[in-house]
Amino acid sequence: MKIVHRLYILLSVIIITASINLFLLLSTTQGYGAESNVTIGLYEIQTKSIVQGLLGADIAFLFLVLFSTTRSLNPLKSLTGALARIKEGKYGEEIKYESHDEIGLIIDSFNSMSKALQEKVEKARQHEIARDEFLAMITHELKTPLVPISGYADMMLKGHMGPITESQRERLEIIKTSSSSLLALISDLLDAQKLALGQLKFRKLENNVKSTVEKSVELMAPQAIVDKIELTHNAKDDIYTTYDDERIRQVINNLIKNSIKAVQPEIGKVNVLLEDSPTEAKISIKDNGRGIPKEAHDKIFKKFYQVDASLTREKGGSGLGLSICKSIVESHGGKIWFESEVGKGTTFAFTLPKIQQK
């Protein structure tokens, strides 16, 4: 409330109180001395009407001040609302206010602050996009030379470039496994960047979930044999829905790989389960591995998060796998979650909706 308004209200209240007192005083002084009754009576009537007029005018004035004060408070309400929206992350709002009084000054500074804030946020967003695009470009460039490295190592190992000694074979095996893990890491980085930029293109076609699961298990079987782990699936019935077969296989492979890393040789079991419902297909990857501790549960889908970094050095991985799985599943309108008990095992599950996805 403006100071002038406060003074007006105070003044009005004083005048009203004074007038009422005077009015009451005049009412009680009636009947003093018989000889001056006529003069006093006339004087009283005149004063009473003046006081009454004054009182009426003052009450009207008070209402006028109250009305204009409430009106002048409206922009402050808009200001409070706009500030609350800034807190929620909605920038760039402008408040309209014509007068150049104290409130006008506040509104002007708010408007310029709001504009500056919006410009800064937009700049930061542009920076972020540029950085992500740069990273995507670099990652792509890193991937290119790895393809011939891995390819030639493979050709030499197969003896296509002449006979090799045992020690050469050992070194070539190292070149091959190192370049493939580097390639896998770079591919994950590239996928994560593209997903962040919304640039990962999906080829969503009518596919059979049963054959997608079969192909994934087939691909991972050699690794399971090497690690002495039992890898099975229960996919029997055809389930047709629209999705990107390659990307969904990437999700299943990632989840199987994680389970293979979590179980122990000889006793380790990884089972891929396929369930059908009228609205969706559900794919679960169940293992009897080490489980995920409770404190890691809310971080598990975050980029680069790993429960045990030392295990990563031993078994590989970037901590990007689950965040990529989540983005791919959600891009298909599905959900991904897990249940886990330390020492007993983990089940990761995701759904693929049967309603047409755009």
Ligand X SMILES: Nc1ncnc2c1ncn2[C@@H]1O[C@H](COP(=O)(O)OP(=O)(O)O)[C@@H](O)[C@H]1O
Residue ranges that bind ligand X, judged by CB under 6 A: 254, 258-259, 262, 287, 289-292, 300, 305-308, 312, 317-322, 346
Q: What 3-state class would DSSP assign to 159?
A: coil
Which listed option, ligand X, Mg ion, none, makes contact with residue 329 (CB within 5 to 8 Å by class)? Answer: none
| Run of H or E including 351 | strand 345-353
Supply the minimum distance, in Å, between the C-beta of residue 213 and ligand X. Answer: 17
Cα distance between residue 17 and residue 44, in whole Å: 19
Supply the minimum distance, in Å, between the C-beta of residue 121 and ligand X. Answer: 30
CB neighbours of residue 125 within 10 Å: 10
Which residues inside 32-71 make contact with Mg ion, applying CB under 5 A? Answer: none
Cα distances (angstroms) measured from residue 286 to each of 136, 150, 338, 350: 33, 33, 10, 12
Which listed option, ligand X, Mg ion, none, makes contact with residue 259 (CB within 5 to 8 Å by class)? Answer: ligand X
Would you say how long the chain is, in residues? 358
Cα distance between residue 339 and residue 291, in whole Å: 9
Task: Pick between residue 136 and residue 270 the one whose CB is nearest to ligand X.
Answer: 270
Q: Which residue has tokens 């999705």?
A: 243
Q: 144 is written with which tokens?
A: 């290119």
Instruction: Return the axis-axis angle of helices 245-262 and 321-331, rounded to nearest 10°.
Output: 150
Supply the minimum distance, in Å, between the C-beta of residue 342 and Mg ion. Answer: 18
Q: Under the criterion CB under 5 A, does residue 321 sit at the interface with Mg ion? A: yes
Task: Pick between residue 291 and residue 317 the one whose CB is nearest to Mg ion.
Answer: 317
Supply the minimum distance, in Å, between the C-beta of residue 127 and ligand X. Answer: 27
- Residue selected from 258, 271, 323, 340 as contacting Mg ion according to rule CB under 5 A: 258
| Residues near Mg ion (CB under 5 A), total | 3
Which listed option, ligand X, Mg ion, none, makes contact with residue 202 (CB within 5 to 8 Å by class)? Answer: none
Which listed option, Mg ion, ligand X, none, makes contact with residue 59 (CB within 5 to 8 Å by class)? Answer: none
Task: Pick between residue 198 and residue 343 the one whose CB is nearest to ligand X.
Answer: 343
Cα distances (angstroms) measured from residue 240 to each of 150, 151, 244: 37, 36, 12
Rounded to a whole number, what is the largest CA-CA distance in the chain? 147
Supply the minimum distance, in Å, between the C-beta of residue 286 and Mg ion. Answer: 16
CB neighbours of residue 51 within 10 Å: 18
Supply the minimum distance, in Å, between the C-beta of residue 114 and Mg ion. Answer: 44
CB neighbours of residue 289 within 10 Å: 23
Task: Pick between residue 206 and residue 295 the one whose CB is nearest to ligand X.
Answer: 295
Task: Pick between residue 156 and residue 255 the one whose CB is nearest to Mg ion.
Answer: 255
224 close to 230: Cβ distance less than 8 angstroms: yes
Supply the minimum distance, in Å, between the C-beta of residue 358 and ligand X. Answer: 28
Task: Pick between residue 281 and residue 292 the one whose CB is nearest to ligand X.
Answer: 292
Task: DSSP letter for 67, please.
Answer: H
User: Which region, judged by CB under 5 A, interacts with Mg ion, from 21-29, 71-79, 127-135, 314-322?
Assistant: 314-322
Phi, psi of 11 (to 5 degrees): -60, -45
Supply the minimum distance, in Å, between the C-beta of residue 144 and ligand X. Answer: 23
Task: Pick between residue 26 and residue 307 the one whose CB is nearest to ligand X.
Answer: 307
CA dihedral 215, 217, 223, 225 (to 10 degrees): -120
Task: Pick between residue 110 and residue 350 the one whose CB is nearest to ligand X.
Answer: 350
Chain residues in the site for Mg ion (CB under 5 A):
258, 317, 321
